[in-house]
Amino acid sequence: MAGKERTWTLNDLANIVGGECDGDPSYVISRPVPAGTNDPQGITFATNEKYLKAALETEIGAVLVPVETPQVTKNVIRVADPRLAFGIVLGAFTKPVPTQPGIHPTAIVHPSATVSDSASIGAYVVIEENAFICDNVKILPHCYIGDNCHVGENTILYPHVVLVQDIRVGKKCILHSGVVAGTDGFGFNWNGQYQQKVPQVGGVVIGDNVEIGSYTCIDRATCGDTVIADGVKFDNMVQIAHNVKIGAHTVMAAQVGISGSATVGERNVYGGQAAVSHHVSIGDDMVFGGRSGIFGNMDQAGEYFGLPAVPLSQAMRVMALQNRLPELFKRLRSLEKEIAELKNGT
Amino acid sequence: MAGKERTWTLNDLANIVGGECDGDPSYVISRPVPAGTNDPQGITFATNEKYLKAALETEIGAVLVPVETPQVTKNVIRVADPRLAFGIVLGAFTKPVPTQPGIHPTAIVHPSATVSDSASIGAYVVIEENAFICDNVKILPHCYIGDNCHVGENTILYPHVVLVQDIRVGKKCILHSGVVAGTDGFGFNWNGQYQQKVPQVGGVVIGDNVEIGSYTCIDRATCGDTVIADGVKFDNMVQIAHNVKIGAHTVMAAQVGISGSATVGERNVYGGQAAVSHHVSIGDDMVFGGRSGIFGNMDQAGEYFGLPAVPLSQAMRVMALQNRLPELFKRLRSLEKEIAELKNGT
Amino acid sequence: MAGKERTWTLNDLANIVGGECDGDPSYVISRPVPAGTNDPQGITFATNEKYLKAALETEIGAVLVPVETPQVTKNVIRVADPRLAFGIVLGAFTKPVPTQPGIHPTAIVHPSATVSDSASIGAYVVIEENAFICDNVKILPHCYIGDNCHVGENTILYPHVVLVQDIRVGKKCILHSGVVAGTDGFGFNWNGQYQQKVPQVGGVVIGDNVEIGSYTCIDRATCGDTVIADGVKFDNMVQIAHNVKIGAHTVMAAQVGISGSATVGERNVYGGQAAVSHHVSIGDDMVFGGRSGIFGNMDQAGEYFGLPAVPLSQAMRVMALQNRLPELFKRLRSLEKEIAELKNGT
């Protein structure tokens, strides 16, 4: 739902994206919109003439176009890379969630905790013993910052984030609503009568520039730390089990599950619902399609897919052939009959 | 666990379901129960004589039966459709979660927000700038209603719902505990050094009569809106990525994942853990079995299953044949041997 | 992240695990650590000489070793079972999350609710009508204990747990952050125009010694109860639909989904992302690998895997052969050609 966005003139936006304003420089733009939107106050982008033509048929207010685009009747901003420029425009229209400086009177901060003067602590936040909240941190309402947790500079925690105990979050991180770090790892031993809990006394270390989606769970280690390196991006509802290590700049889409003590390298990409088994080690620069299942160690950089994950091209071929199994059985039966006839001399 | 239900007499219930009371009209019924429950204060239903016979062997208090059922020794209510009538009985025993009219003294409502006098705002709720809460809305404890969010008439938000920013929820919706709408969409571009965030400035629009299960996540659009149309029903832990459009009356079971910019038609049904890939478009009246994976556009109404999803009957045939692969290889080896022998003239 | 652990001497730990102290009895140990950690204040374990040799090459402070281990230059504690002893050491270093006795002044407890004097109720907890909180229960901040819920002795609820209504939790349970019990079951009937809600008026009964991971959802029954028996262990984000029964001591890893009215036996084990279909009945002592899908009733104890789940050895064979489908088609084509040649007499 469209909010009370700030507005920009066409000329302002051209300056922001470093482009050339071609049209009415004082034209007011209220919001970036998807291609094809009929919005006289909107701006969108077109990477080629086909998309531009489509945009010109709408009442869109302005279009970001490649420098070489012929003159058109619409307001345009000419840029080297319209998609990139649109990202900058999106940034210009970003509206921060409301926060106030200081500690909200309803927030409960333990006397042993340290909160920077420049931090913003929202309503009904609870901060427990020995927690440490660095400069410019924003903690939104209803978050729980447990015993001995550390939140690094310029990190934002959306409402309802829970850091249970012994969690270290780096700088410039974004933890979306409902992230939980520090739930006990899932460790039990069957003793013949019941599942005996293996105590979980480790922590979680999250690097800098990490973004974590809603309801993603990162369990505390049995001992030592579960580790999320710098620049990692998790979508919603990702499961990171105890003792896992995730390498820098790895990206995981929603509902991915990484089992206990697995190690994932740097710059990996996991499609939604993919999963890695216990104690598996994955190298750098691996790309796994959605719902891939990885049972064993893999370290040759490339694209993979399937259960178990195999090189993407092989997986696609196998998947296509699977649906031809009925035909295959039919051809086999036919061959068996022909051979029987040949043997019988018929 | 059985609560402090209100009670009804057999006659009351007969009137409520529009049926004929055959038994002690003043008999007190305390709760609807599953078939087979040994509960003299319970009522259940039987759609045919077999189920009725089973019910008669228990100490059940009363049974909803088809009109034509022969006389029995139990209390019965004769109705045209016992299953439907049982649904009405369930409704009669529904016990609302406790709410009080007005704004709880601990709720924090921004001065710029509007809250209807007939709304109920629970303990520790936070309502941010420019939010708008319509008539008869019930917001249970610990919910967070963010900047510029709108909650339509007669909608209920269970505890711990989070509407981050720029979210519009329609009328008569039910958002169960922990629903999050408005988390940033998962958009990044690899710039050679790190994953650069694509700002997400859009909103979410949820229609009327939508019901959403616990911990389901609906991400805000990159720009424009992620859209959930009227009458949609989501189970728990469904993932709806940014820019997705879900058509009216579509139903998704738990743990389904819909990837970014996908479009789903009206009256679709998705079994648990099913998934739709990025930018895919699905037509109306499509039914996908649990854990189906949809990679490409599909629009022929029907039942589908599998990864990739194919017509249900084909998927079932393929699945059965997969488990015969060892046999298939054996038959193939046998054929190869026979042919070699034939060629050798042996 | 390492917390402010309590410390133990080597001799203390030897006493705790019932082992023999071989080294400096007053040596101070600050934390258990994973094998291979270079930590002079750490203790780890080695089950055999190979692991011991690796540990000896680090600066580890002490190692738990088998009784028969030859003398080494490190501090060791000799025990019958080093792995088991390490579990005891983990327990010794467990640091409870901070709680205070009594009801926090910000907690809101309905006058009709009962809270034991020995219970600990944290900040911003809401306890509704007729709830009953037994002795030594710990409820951490932001939990919501709904109408007519019961929490048994010595149970702990981490922050942000929600018990919606009519939920009974047994003794000595651990509900991690964000568990929701009591969301309406997902029941609708298509009436030709829209999905009509089937009211859900049942409850949830959770036995003793149950541990439930973050964001696991257990839906209330349509009528009667959804039942989780004693000793069950759920990891994070498990979905338990309405009317499900889970037998004692069953274990489910993260992201498992159990569909409505399914019945699961005792001592089952489910790998991550596994799923059971509606109304399916599963016997005792069944083990299902990760992402298994169970469509029909199964009751022969054993290990299973796949979609549909078949005996593990068969599933592994089939999975291996699937990736040989391209080869299979090639061999088939080759045979067809040879037979055609034989028939043509070439």
The residue with tokens 């690094």 is A152
- List, for residues A273-300, the tens digit of each pLDDT value: 999 999 999 999 999 999 999 999 999 9
Cβ contacts (< 8 Å) between B161 and chain A: which residues? none
**pLDDT score for A346:** 62
- How would you class B64 by CB atoms within 10 Å of its CB: exposed for 0-12, middle for 13-18, buried for 19 or more? buried
Q: What is the DSSP string of C41-57?
A: TEEEE-SSHHHHHHHHT
Backbone φ, ψ for residue C336 (5° rounding):
-60, -40
- Torsion sign (Cα): B32, B38, B41, B46: positive
- Is residue B13 a contact partner of residue B31, using CB atoms and an 8 Å limit? no
Q: What is the mean pLDDT of residues B320-336?
A: 92
Residues in chain B within 8 Å Cβ distance of A33: 223-224
pLDDT at C344: 84
Tokens of A115: 């909160």
Mean pLDDT of the region B31-43: 94
Residue A29 with chain B: CB contacts under 8 Å: none
pLDDT above 90: residue A343:
no
Average pLDDT over residues A48-61: 92
The closest of A301, A308, A266, A307 to A287, measured between CA atoms, is: A301
Number of residue pairs across B and C with CB atoms under 8 Å?
A: 200
Q: How confident is the model at residue A2 (pLDDT cuts 50, 70, 90)?
A: very low
Q: How many CB atoms are closer than 10 A to CB A182? A: 30
Helices (H), C94-186: none
Token pair listed for B322: 């997969």
Closest CA to C257 of B36, B340, B271: B271
End-to-end CA distance of chain C: 76
Token output for C43: 């203790």
CA distance C91 to B127: 43
Contacts of C178 in chain B (CB under 8 A): 178, 215
d(CA C318, CA C62): 47
Q: What is the pLDDT of residue B4?
A: 52
Question: Of the candidates C35, C43, C122, which has an alpha carbon nearest to the alpha carbon of residue C76?
Answer: C43
B265-293 tens-digit pLDDT: 999 999 999 999 999 999 999 999 999 99
* pLDDT tens, residue by residue, B242-263: 999 999 999 999 999 999 999 9
Q: How many angstroms separate the CA atoms of C96 and C249, rounded?
A: 25
Q: What is the pLDDT of residues A170-204, one digit of tens each?
A: 999 999 999 999 999 999 999 999 999 999 999 99
A24-46, pLDDT tens digit by residue? 999 999 999 998 899 999 999 99
Domains and CATH numbers, chain B: 8-92 (3.40.1390.10), 102-314 (2.160.10.10)
C-alpha B337: how far from chain center: 55
Q: What is the mean pLDDT of chain B?
A: 95
Compute and round to an integer the Cα radius of gyration of chain A.
27
Mention every residue, 6+ apart, whose C-beta is less than 8 A from residue B84: none
Element (H, E) at B84: helix B82-92
Q: Do A259 and C273 lie within an 8 Å CB cutoff?
A: no
Contact criterion met (CB < 8 Å) for B186 and A37: no
pLDDT tens per residue, range C238-254: 999 999 999 999 999 99
Chain C CA closest to residue B326: C318
pLDDT for A345 equals: 77
Rounded Cα–Cα distance for residues C101 and B158 (Å): 29
pLDDT at residue B199, rounded to an integer: 97
The token pair that represents C278 in the structure block: 């509606």
CB contact under 8 A, B3 and C166: yes
List phi, psi (to 5°) of C51. -65, -35
Catalytic-labelled residue, pool C104, C110, C150, C242: C242
pLDDT tens, residue by residue, A306-320: 999 999 999 999 999
Tell me the C-alpha distance between C162 and C146, whole Å.
8
DSSP string across A11-49: HHHHHHHT-EEES-TT-EE-EE--TT---TTEEEE-SSH
Q: What is the DSSP string of A58-88?
A: TT-SEEEEETTPPP-SSEEEEES-HHHHHHH
Report the largest interatomic distance among the alpha carbons of chain A, rounded to a whole angstrom.
97
- What gap in Å lies between CA A244 and CA A259, rounded to an integer? 7
Q: Catalytic: which of B150, B176, B242, B249?
A: B242
Q: Which of C162, C241, C322 sits opposite B254 (nearest CB)?
A: C241
State whether C32 and A201 contact (CB < 8 Å): yes
The values of phi and psi at residue C209, to 5°, are 60, 30
| Cα–Cα distance, A149 to A113 (Å, whole number) | 9
Look at residue C110 and give its three-state secondary structure.
coil
Residue C145's pLDDT is what?
A: 98
How near does any CA of chain A get to the CA of C82, in Å? 14
* Closest CA of chain C from B189, distance in Å: 28
pLDDT, tens digit, for every residue of C72-97? 999 999 999 999 999 999 999 999 99
CB contact under 8 A, B328 and A328: yes
Inter-chain CB proximity B237 and A237 less than 8 Å: yes
Q: Quickly count: other Cβ atoms within 10 Å of residue A84's Cβ.
A: 15
**Residue B110 annotated to the active site:** no
Residue of A nearest to C335 (CA): A335
With CA atoms as reference, the chain B residue closest to C323 would be B325
Please answer whether residues C218 and C237 qualify as being in contact, where contact means their C-beta atoms are separated by less than 8 angstroms. no
Least confident of B129-133, B337-341, C4-8, C307-311: C4-8
- Per DSSP, helices labelled H in B163-270 are none
Amino acid occupying residue C268: N
User: In Å, how far are A83, C239, C306 from C197, measured between CA atoms?
Assistant: 44, 20, 34
Residue-wise pLDDT tens digits, B41-81: 999 999 998 999 999 999 999 999 999 999 999 999 999 99
For residues B115 and B103, give the distance between their C-alpha atoms in angstroms, rounded to a whole number: 9
Tell whether omega for the bond before B308 is within 30 degrees of 0, i.e. cis.
yes
- Answer yes or no: do C290 and A277 touch at CB < 8 A: yes
pTM of the model as a whole: 0.96
Q: Which of C166, C189, C331 sits opposite B332 (nearest CB)?
A: C331
Residues C239 and B236 sit within 8 Å (Cβ to Cβ) = yes
Q: Say how many CA atoms lie within 13 Å of C156 toward its Cβ.
A: 15
Q: Which residue is it, tokens 């609708």?
A: C188
Strand partners for A167: A204
β-sheet bridge partners, residue A165? A147
| Bridge pairing between strands B195-197 and B188-190 | antiparallel
Task: At B126, list the tokens.
Answer: 């936070």
Question: Where does residue A311 fall: left (phi above 0), alpha (psi -120 to 50 degrees), or beta otherwise?
Answer: beta
Cβ atoms of B235 and C217 closer than 8 Å: no
Per-residue pLDDT tens digits of chain C, which is 346 residues long: 444 558 999 999 999 999 999 999 999 999 999 988 999 999 999 999 899 999 999 999 999 999 999 999 999 999 999 999 999 999 999 999 999 999 999 999 999 999 999 999 999 999 999 999 999 999 999 999 999 999 999 999 999 999 999 999 999 999 999 999 999 999 999 999 999 999 999 999 999 999 999 999 999 999 999 999 999 999 999 999 999 999 999 999 999 999 999 999 999 999 999 999 999 999 999 999 999 999 999 999 999 999 999 999 999 999 999 999 999 999 999 999 999 988 887 6
State mean pLDDT over B158-178.
98
Q: Most C CBs within 10 Å: which of B1, B99, B158, as the mutation test of the C interface?
A: B1
Q: Where are the beta strands (DSSP E) in B111-216?
A: 114-115, 120-121, 126-127, 132-133, 138-139, 144-147, 150-151, 156-157, 162-165, 167-169, 174-175, 180-181, 188-190, 195-197, 203-206, 211-212
Residue B330 CA, chain-centre distance (Å), reads: 46
Of the pLDDT bands very low, low, confident and very high (cuts 50, 70, 90), residue B346 is low
User: Rounded CA gap, C167 and A207, in Å?
Assistant: 39
Q: Which residues contact B27 (CB under 8 A, 6 or more apart)?
A: B9, B10, B61, B62, B75
Chain C hits for A237, Cβ within 8 Å: 215, 237
Active-site residue (options: A110, A150, A176, A242): A242
pLDDT band at B343 (very low <50, low <70, confident <90, very high): confident
User: What is the rounded radius of gyration, in angstroms, for the C-alpha atoms of chain C?
Assistant: 27
* Selection from C121, C116, C117 nearest residue C106 by Cα: C121
Predicted local distance difference test score (pLDDT) of residue A344 = 84
Contact between A224 and A243 under an 8 Å Cβ cutoff? The reply is yes
Q: How many residues does chain C have?
A: 346
Q: What is the dihedral of CA B46, B47, B50, B51, to 10 degrees?
A: -30
